[in-house]
A and B are shown apart, each in its own frame.
Chain A
Amino acid sequence: MSPVTFRSVRDLPPMSRSADTMLWNRTGSWRFLRPRYQDKVAPCAEGCPAAEDIARVQILLGQGDFEAAWLRIREENPLPGVCGRVCYHPCEEACNRGEYDDPVTVNSLERFLADHAWKLGLTPPPPEPAAGGGRVAVVGAGPAGLAAAHFLRRLGHEVDLFDARDEPGGLLRYGIPEYRLPMDALAWEVGLILNDGVRFHGNRRLGGDLTWDELSGYDAVFLAAGTWKPAPLGAEGEEHARDGLALLEAIRRGETPEVSGKVAVIGGGNTAMDVARSLLRLGAEPVVYYRRRLQDMPALPEEIHEAREEGIPFQTLLAPKRIEPLPQGGFRLVLTTMEILEEDEGGRPRVVPSGHPDVEVEVDAVVTAIGAGPSEGVPAEVAGGGGLVSEGLHLKRIAPEGEWADRPPVFVGGDLVNDRKAVVTAIASGKEAALVIDARLRGRDAASIWPSIRVGRRGGVSMNRYLGGDRAAQQDHVVRYDELNTIYFRFQERRERPRITLEERRTGFDEVKMRISASLALKESERCFHCGQCDQCDNCYLFCPDVSVLRDLRAGTREINYDYCKGCGVCVVECPRNAMVLEEEPR
């Protein structure tokens, strides 16, 4: 584009009239600041131990591309249907929308996407064959083992997945009740993992017929056998108490355990809630006894709330002291009354006997759910914790000393090592194990890769980034609420997922939380700010005084025309979600 030239007076028009546009004038040369599109990390993604790219998932969901959104979750977490039901959703606590009105219901949207894929029978593309893979044994087919097997398989390794029980799923299958995680939903999602070519070997118990001799034949071992051995109650006559986890397992196996009448459930964690609520559904009258206060319970607030809604009584500041069988059947449970000694910073407060008289109750059964430890077959180095070295955020390794020096590296994850014992942290363990094992087998230094694949400063690691995907280009800055231009958002009520009636809940094992409709999911997804991620709202294009944002409406992309952009920065300020940045013009 060159300026118009008039060679003689005769060339000039009779009156001043334009003959060309201003496009010859490359105003980009005025610029000393340069706007640029730059994706950043949304706080939800940093909050998620599995580092799911939640903002991008919401963008895809909002565009109606439910399959792409589901696959986007699966890049980081192969169990969205499970997590969409049972996750403690730290993403929602981190959500910037919480400072505006209420957090987005990320958890129920995750389940919506998984259920949509399930209903339609969608399958992810098969893993691409990769050369140079190794053979890896995964011991324990719970969430950690399943995640590790999934990612290792996708990374091109042969995977043998061992479990002490006959079917895969671990705690998901044998420890979480049907009303929270229906068996068919779990089976579908586990099936997708096994379909990738993971070889599952059931009824192979570590310390039983699965030996370290056999495991030493692999290039690496990931141990995620979970914690199944009930913790001792420390009360006289505790042999009369039943193990809550075993009870849950029996119910999951379709058995109807003989429990009726008044049942004391000891504990305040999720297992205690699961046991009490399962007993209620079996027709018993559970009462929860907990040594601290309601607010100190480690169970999810949601679980406690639902248990209380169902009418289960909670007795707190009571610690079991003695269980005595009664001649007419049943037991006398003697409980020590406790009091709070001091508020522990961060942790749970310490409790001591208050000196008040003991409380005695007559019950038909006592069930404990006060935590569990590693089963017998787990090596002492792991069970004691003394022989472990850290390998990641949710991953440890048995120190290669003594007899372990000659064995392939053994990585340990899931409930065996995690401080926060949860499904999503177990999945994070599995992913970290897959990354570290893959890096090791391919001669890469995992420790040096770690900083570049971690999402945000406090977040988990991303498989997408490890594989050099589009998240690798994200600036590792976590978008804060005050960095958003919230004028472009509107107050919209958070839409909780509907639940079945209390009557249905008290009498059967139907899933409590109902599926949400596509229209509800789309409405709720609209609430997402998409912090740090361009969702093509086009404010940059609309407000540009220099018509210098070029859009490709078909491809859904936009770019800045630096030939004319004067670098005013209006686009950066008007971007509602901080997905742009204004930088000094390079010289």
Chain B
Amino acid sequence: MPIELPVHERMYSGHLACPGCGAAIAMRFLLKGLGEKAILSIPACCWSIIGGPFPYTALQVPVLHTAFETGGAVASGIRAALDARGDTETQVVTWAGDGGTFDIGLQSLSGAAERNENILYVCYDNEAYMNTGVQSSGATPTGAWTTTTPTGSPKPTRKKDIMQIMAAHRIPYAATASIAYPEDMVRKVQKAVSLKGTKFLHVYAPCPTGWKVPSEISVKLARLAVQTRIFPLYEVEDGVRYTINLEPVGYLVDEYYRTQGRFKHLTREDLDRIQAQVDENWERLKALARIG
């Protein structure tokens, strides 16, 4: 079955993303889902670089490059300014990396969500501070190598559950999406912009450079993350109604972990532990979907 997406193209070639960049693919899908009138606010992240240096841009929509911790606040400000001018049509979108969302920008995102600002906040998650050279973030998964969690002592703790944090704000819409499932992602963008209030999208965007994988399997890895239940596709409405969008095949996590350089130091026991975590998360998600 061919994948059907809107035909418009609002991104230019010539941008500075590494070959196979998941964040570049994610941006294309976001723009396909957005209407004609949109403003992006981009706090410090890979896309601050990818979009091109002054005086250039790789996007056909207005972008405001802003400071790391301000994703939620700047979008709120743009929204207020537009509203003051009577422009309720233009969508305000924050496009932030996992560092700017899970860690550095969390307070400003939480504030915007608490106020239920009418914005769409999209976090493209490549699971570390990739732009500055692969430092561990709150989104880095258990056992991963980064320059700040070297193979001798890889990240011991779990990936922060940003979806639960956002759901706890009882915002109208939060959803996960993946570059391997474009139709699902575009539908979620379209659904988000149709709703009023704070909308949050958590988009899985593999980073071949930081994950130490060949660039060509970027999308394949994103698909494996979904199919292993490591990154399930689901939506949360009003913070309580959970819907799982795709029933994963349920491959073992090995399928996903074994292909990546950042996990190559993991032992059988480590993988078993990770499998148990993934299974636990999945069961919990299914339980939430049942009661929602």
Contacts and interface: CB of A to CB of B under 8 A. Distances in A.
Contacts, number: 124
Q: In this complex, which of B20, B182, B208, B214 has the most chain A Cβ atoms within 10 angstroms of its Cβ?
A: B20
A20 B19 contact: no
A545 B20 contact: yes
A567 B220 contact: no
Contact of B20 (A4, A22, A488, A570): A570
Binding site secondary structure of chain A: loop
Nearest to B216: A569
Interface in B30-86: 51-52, 54-58, 63
A24 B56 CA distance: 10
A582 interface: yes
A30 to B, nearest CB: 7
Contact of A547 (B12, B54, B179, B218): B12
Nearest to A31: B19
B189 interface: no
A126 B52 CA distance: 58
A568 B216 contact: yes
A38 interface: no
A22 B57 contact: yes
B13 A547 contact: yes
Contacts of B11: 547
Interface in B178-235: 179, 182, 208, 214-220, 223
Interface in A475-531: 487-488, 490
B55 A4 contact: yes
Interface string A522-547: 00000000000000111100111111
B2 interface: yes
B291 interface: no
Nearest to B1: A490
Interface stretch (A11-19, A75-83, A298-306, A360-368): A11-19
Contact of A19 (B5, B19, B55, B58): B55
B15 A546 contact: yes
Contacts of B223: 487
A566 interface: yes
B16 A22 contact: yes
B14 interface: yes
A440 interface: no
A22 B14 contact: yes
Contacts of B20: 545, 566, 568-570
A488 to B, nearest CB: 7
B19 A22 contact: no
A321 to B, nearest CB: 61
A563 B12 CA distance: 12
Contacts of B218: 545, 568, 570
B56 A572 contact: no
Place the interface of chain B in its size category: 35 or more
A573 B13 contact: no
B13 A27 contact: yes
A48 B278 CA distance: 47
B9 interface: yes
Contacts of B182: 542-543
A417 to B, nearest CB: 45
A574 B63 CA distance: 30
B14 A569 contact: no
B97 to A, nearest CB: 16
B14 A18 contact: no
Contacts of B12: 21-23, 547
B288 interface: no
A569 B12 CA distance: 19
Contact of B13 (A18, A487, A536, A561): A561
Interface string A15-53: 011111111111100110000000000000000000000
A569 B20 CA distance: 7
Interface in A542-587: 542-548, 553, 561, 563-564, 566-570, 572-574, 582
Contacts of B216: 568-570, 572-573, 582
Interface stretch (B21-29, B122-130, B161-169): B21-29
7 contacts: A16-B55, A18-B52, A18-B54, A22-B57, A545-B20, A545-B28, A547-B12
Interface of A: 4, 6, 13, 16-27, 30-31, 487-488, 490, 536-539, 542-548, 553, 561, 563-564, 566-570, 572-574, 582
Interface of B: 1-3, 5, 7, 9, 11-22, 24-25, 28, 51-52, 54-58, 63, 179, 182, 208, 214-220, 223
